[in-house]
Amino acid sequence: MHDLHSERMSGSETRAAGGLALVFAFRMLGMFMVLPVLATYGMDLAGATPALIGFAIGAYGLTQAFLQIPFGIISDRIGRRPVIYIGLVIFALGSLLAAHADSIWGVIAGRVLQGAGAISAAVMALLSDLTREQHRTKAMATIGMSIGVSFAVAMVVGPLVTRMFGLSGLFIVTAVMALVGIGLIAFVVPSASSHFTHRESGVARQALLPTLKHPDLLRLDVGIFVLHAILMASFVALPLALVERAGLPKEQHWWVYLTALLVSFFGMIPFIIYGEKKRKMKRVLIGAVATLMLTELFFWAFGYSLTELVVGTVVFFTAFNLLEASLPSLISKVSPAGGKGTAMGVYSTSQFLGAALGGILGGWLFQHGGLNVVFIGCAGLLAIWLAIAVTMREPPYVTSLRLPLSPAALREAALAERLKAVPGVTDAVVVAEEAAIYIKLDTEILDRASLERLVNPAPETCQA
């Protein structure tokens, strides 16, 4: 039995974090690999129009958005693993449906079914069951990184796989990845001895209304909605611009994305360090949104040669990856104590709705106005986000903690109010049914050990 307060992750926690990160990565690879290729290869499908190609690109977001939170709630009732297995099987079936489609409508149906395997919330909840409090943030960060890496890999591998096996071969590969995910859950991820409802990793109904009314959380939800909308819309236009304007054969697009993603990964790191260390995340956020907007205008005005399109794509991905990495951490800073899981649920739903709308809008704009209208449309959406982001307050630089409470501490009246008076504690809420307290604190002012002593003092101080 490992020590409850040991500072290292145990073997089973490492296996849980690694295994679930891989499940996430394989599923995300399946979602994203079609992005760089559908606009160019999809036009060979029967009935394909640019508007329907855009719909196929974003279609998974529709079902994902609506089923994300319900699947999480069902996993509280029937268990995490059954929900994850069902979700991965649905995803695999969607991939096979798309693989055997000979018309664009078959591919759209497959993408819609892929999105119906909405397992994100159940995976996060299982991770909470399998990790201790002090390692949970680390474990969740592992999953966050796996999503980022899978997106980067998908941009490069998608064109290479499609070049070798065609569009149907690409969808078969994504079905195989879902089956690998099932194997990982069955054989690598340890079994949870119990599962508990946890407000940092699941949606709490009581927290839903306050989350939907929270102005700064809503600004961030609009942000991720726009970010994924312009990503999908841009991927209706960018691959076509590379073929039509720069004359780059679709089989060679992989090197453009590889260059852009490698440069952007290293390019964004200094900005994240600056924003966190100097506590200037609002400035970094606004700068990145403005850069994305200017990049879309650059594509519109100058994106007519290979050099210009490659430079634009590098800048686009640097700003995109910077925002994709920093928005979830802003959600966790801004959300009230005990509200992070609910805030992330609403955020994910906004993200998938954005992806759905962006694909549909990008395809429709391209069909009715060509490439330039797509770029102008994306710049317009980003201008709206910029206007909203400017009014955001500087986020609080706080950490979320959940500490178990002893029966004596639970009986104590006004514990949360007393804690809020402690310098460095910005918010606290006692959740009696979990026998726990959720706290937001500034680690530069207050350290965790002194906080634990305040919440659950040693027996002799209780009697004093």
Give the residue extent of every domain in the chain. Answer: 12-189, 207-225+235-397, 399-463
Q: Which residues contact 259 (CB under 8 A, 6 or more apart)?
A: 310, 314
304-313, long-range: CB < 8 A, 24+ apart? 304/245, 304/246, 305/245, 305/246, 306/242, 306/246, 306/247, 306/248, 309/238, 309/241, 309/242, 309/245, 309/246, 309/256, 310/256, 310/259, 310/260, 313/238, 313/256, 313/257, 313/260
Residue 202 DSSP class: S
What pLDDT does 458 receive? 59
Whole-angstrom distance, CA of residue 225 vs CA of residue 95 = 25
Q: Which stretch of DSSP H or E encloses residue 4?
A: none
Average pLDDT of the chain, as a whole number: 88
On the question of a common fold for 207-225+235-397 and 399-463, the answer reads no
Minimum mean pLDDT among 78-87, 292-301, 414-423: which range?
A: 414-423
Q: Are 134 and 5 in contact (CB under 8 A)?
A: yes
* Residue 2 pLDDT exceeds 60: no
Residue whose token pair is 């990964």: 265
CA 353, distance to chain mean position in Å, is 12
Q: Are 173 and 154 in contact (CB under 8 A)?
A: no
Strand order in the sheet with 399-404: 399-404, 436-441, 425-431
- Convert the pLDDT of each residue in 92-143 to its tens digit: 999 999 999 999 999 999 999 999 998 988 888 888 888 877 777 788 778 8
Q: How confident is the model at residue 7 (pLDDT cuts 50, 70, 90)?
A: low
Q: Which residues pair with 401 in a beta bridge?
A: 439
* Residue 389 pLDDT exceeds 60: yes
Residue of 123, 100, 121 lying closest to 110 (CA atoms): 100
Residue whose token pair is 């400017």: 390
- Convert the pLDDT of each residue in 278-310 to its tens digit: 989 999 999 999 999 999 999 999 999 999 999
* Residue 189 pLDDT exceeds 80: yes
Pull the structure tokens for residue 428: 């606290």
What pLDDT does 148 receive? 81
What pLDDT does 203 receive? 74
Q: Computed from CA positions of residues 243, 248, 251, 253, in that sequence, does the dihedral angle turn out positive or negative?
A: negative
State mean pLDDT over 347-361: 94
Q: How confident is the model at residue 193 (pLDDT cuts 50, 70, 90)?
A: confident
Residue whose token pair is 């007519």: 304
Half-sphere exposure of 328 (CA within 13 A, CB side): 19
State mean pLDDT over 17-28: 91
Domain 399-463 fold is Alpha-Beta Plaits (3.30.70)
Q: Are 99 and 171 in contact (CB under 8 A)?
A: yes
**Helix pair 281-302, 306-334: axis angle to 10 deg:** 150
Minimum mean pLDDT among 66-80, 167-181, 401-415: which range?
A: 401-415
Q: Which residues contact 266 (CB under 8 A, 6 or more apart)?
A: none
Q: Which stretch of DSSP H or E encloses residue 445?
A: none
Q: Which residues contact 27 (CB under 8 A, 6 or more apart)?
A: 88, 91, 117, 119, 177, 178, 181
Q: Are 410 and 435 in contact (CB under 8 A)?
A: yes
State mean pLDDT over 177-198: 85
Q: What is the pTM of this model?
A: 0.89
Instruction: Sort residue 212 into left (φ over 0), alpha (ψ -120 to 50) or beta.
Output: alpha
CATH architecture of the domain 207-225+235-397 equals: Up-down Bundle (1.20)
* Residue 1 pLDDT exceeds 60: no
Q: Which CATH class is domain 12-189?
A: mainly alpha
Q: What is the dihedral of CA 114, 120, 125, 130, to 10 degrees?
A: 90
CB environment 183-202: b (16+ within 10 A), e (fewer): ebbeeebeebeebebbbbbb
